[in-house]
Amino acid sequence: MTIDDSSTSYGEIVRRLAGAQKVSLPGSPPYSVYVNRKVGRLIAAWAYRAGLTPNAVTAVSATLTFAGILCIALVPPAPWTGILVWLLLALGYAFDSADGQVARLRGGGSPAGEWLDHVVDAAKLSSLHIAVAIAMFRFFALPSAWWLLLPLLYTVVSAVTFFGMILNDLLRQARGGGAARRPGARSAAHTILLLPTDYGILCLVFVLLGWPMVFTIAYGLFFIANLGALALALPRWFGQMKQLGKES
């Protein structure tokens, strides 16, 4: 979907983006689909009219996100810092949604742009939890040093989950899309259970940063939910890859 006329109104660009939006798979993260994608659409329309390239939008996303991550690691936790961290992470996530939409407005993305987007995503997912570990070590009155393992293990879960999803798509593309994602319909209850795996919902948890033990408990529950989701996903993904090998 290319818009050649730079005088096209902001509202028209937003409407065209809404009409050309990617189809959401059943069970897709609700915040990412119903909130972040829509906010990203508004940002994409503005960025397009401002003449920003998709890579420039990615750079803005990275700047906002890593500013939030640095706040977690370096600024003593307080109610206002929790709100600031959430705003920076949430805005960074919205700009992350916008870069691909800007690429569609300009006629399609590039391999370099997709590479940059994925590298930034990989860096933020690991850095976020490492920053939590640093904050816990520096600022939290933890009952035991064993609690520091929580963000470190969360780093592993996030990295494996992200790499697994990316690798699944790459292998499917390399094999001609043989075992394309065909998830069955999921119930509303199932979608709600998957809320903790939504990065946008995780960003909201940082509003609790001013109350360290409350944050730690909420963060720990999110870790358990993500660990459980990964444990369920890995055998399913492996089975899909086995089926892909049979079909190719």
What is the domain partition of the chain in residue ranges?
A: 27-247
pTM given for the model: 0.88
* Residue with the larger pLDDT of the pair 21 and 136: 136
Say whether pLDDT at 96 is over 90: yes
Q: Backbone dihedral region of 28: left (phi > 0), alpha (psi from -120 to 50 degrees) or beta? A: beta
The answer to whether the CB of 40 falls within 8 A of the CB of 101 is: yes
Q: Which CATH superfamily is domain 27-247 in?
A: CDP-alcohol phosphotransferase transmembrane (TM) domain (1.20.120.1760)
Q: What is the pLDDT of residues 102-148, one digit of tens each?
A: 888 887 778 898 999 999 999 999 999 999 999 999 999 999 999 99
Q: How many CA atoms lie within 13 A of 219 on its CB side?
A: 26
